Amino acid sequence: MTKARSQISKKRKLKAKGNPASKKNLARDKGIMERIERKSATRTRKPAPRSKRASRLRPERRVLALVATRKGAWIYHGDAARKTWRVDGPHFLGHIVNHLALDPRDGKTLLAAAKTGHLGPTIFRSADFGQTWQEAERPPAFAKPADGQKGRVVDHTFWLTPGHASEPGAWYAGTSPQGLFRSEDGGLTWRPFSCVNDDPQYREWMGSVQDGTPDGPKLHSIIVDPRDPAHLYFAMSGGGVHESVDGGGNWKSLVQGLEVVEGFDPANVAFHDPHCVRLCPANPDRLYQQNHCGIYRIDRPANEWVRIGRTMPKRAGDIGFPMVAHPRDADTVWVFPMDGTAVWPRTSPDGLPSVYVTRNGGKTWKRLDSGLPKGQAWWTVKRQAMTADSQDPVGLFIGTTSGELWMSRDEGNRWACIARHLPEIYAVEVAEIR
């Protein structure tokens, strides 16, 4: 019984002496207070469910979908349930935006890799969720060549990766043609990083501008090991996968076990074409790769990739561009197959788009197409246009070459289109804010 209730009870006992009606009221009040105390004790003994207690203790996180397209960028703000979305945009209307990413270290800084008609390739920075933008003072650019040598010119910045959590302000950028750059001031100034851009061996593996993808060869999939800022990976199309354990001082190729197009020599790193490489947040020693020639997995410290895409249904095959790893389960990864027949039409197989998931590290795969078009959908998803949030259950996002943004709130079991009629989507990232 609380102190206040005890005092009330004492007062009523004094008034009740010699008064039968008061005695009845006292008995009634006593019974009421006893029932209140029993209910209070019951509530104390039955704690709220864990999820409800957790939601009261910490603010809900909202998900933002950052969409980069051939004609600008859009930001979609989701509610806490990820059911309704508010659109913000376009930003940079008419300009090619290859990548839009939020800095998870401060939760507010955005970088946009853009190719504008009048400024050429550049990077823009916003510290207020896109309300205002500042162009980089020194965007990525190759070093001036020595006298008598032919130099290279950056056509566009293709990939942006925030630096390690211990390095605020650090960012990495990959370009077309293949180049690796770093900023240490939040994206305002950029400089060539490491020896990669001008190393004779790497230049040989990079090939010429005509040797890469249709819209130019690219350096992509820049990965920073969350346990060690000096442990880095990157991939080149073409030119293979590469690793450094000393902060870029030295690099080694990581292509053993990977296949190449029939008739070419897999011993030549130049012939390797990784489309997308993902490190597992739940186990940083495991990486998955969607390659021009299949789906692979590697478990470090092993140096050989294992092709896990052979267990994909033959109807779908294991050719595609994007992939995304589960934030908490290293055995779960999602892919989006495309038609990989001889002419490479770069569309969904048979016009039937679907995501596939493995939940056992690639032993088996399951088709996830509920809600997606059931025919005549001749689009695909580019290597940066598929991503996941860290909610429970995980939310998945895909952006299509036909300008649609699709989302699943239950790890791919059911899909819904949350935006249509956008320009061709190049990249989709998610940001989670409080």
> Residue 90 contacts by C-beta under 8 Å, 6 or more apart in sequence?
71, 72, 73, 74
Please give the Cα distance from 160 to 123 (Å, whole number). Answer: 10
Can you give the pLDDT of all 434 residues of the chain as single tens digits?
444 444 444 444 433 344 444 444 434 444 434 443 343 343 333 444 444 443 344 457 789 999 999 999 999 999 989 999 999 999 999 999 999 999 999 999 999 999 987 778 999 999 998 999 999 999 999 999 887 778 899 999 999 999 999 999 999 999 999 999 999 999 999 999 999 999 999 999 998 776 667 788 999 999 999 999 999 999 999 999 999 999 999 999 999 999 999 999 999 999 999 999 999 999 999 999 999 999 999 999 999 999 999 999 999 999 999 999 999 999 999 999 999 887 788 999 999 999 999 999 999 999 999 999 999 999 999 999 999 999 999 999 999 999 999 999 999 999 999 999 999 999 999 999 87
Q: Please, are residues 296 and 304 in contact by the beta-carbon 8 Å criterion?
A: no
Q: For the chain, what are the domain ranges? A: 3-36
Q: Please, are residues 37 and 29 in contact by the beta-carbon 8 Å criterion?
A: no
Verify cis geometry, omega within 30 degrees of 0, for the bond prior to 247: no
Q: Please, are residues 432 and 421 in contact by the beta-carbon 8 Å criterion?
A: no
Q: What is the DSSP letter of 341?
A: S
Q: Extract long-range pairs of 198-204: CB within 8 Å, 24+ residues apart.
A: 198/142, 198/143, 202/178, 202/239, 202/251, 204/270
> Residue 230 contacts by C-beta under 8 Å, 6 or more apart in sequence?
244, 245, 246, 247
What Rg value do the Cα atoms of the chain yield, rounded? 28
Q: What are phi and psi of 19, to 5 degrees?
A: -125, 105
pLDDT at position 213 is: 73
pTM, rounded to two decimals: 0.85
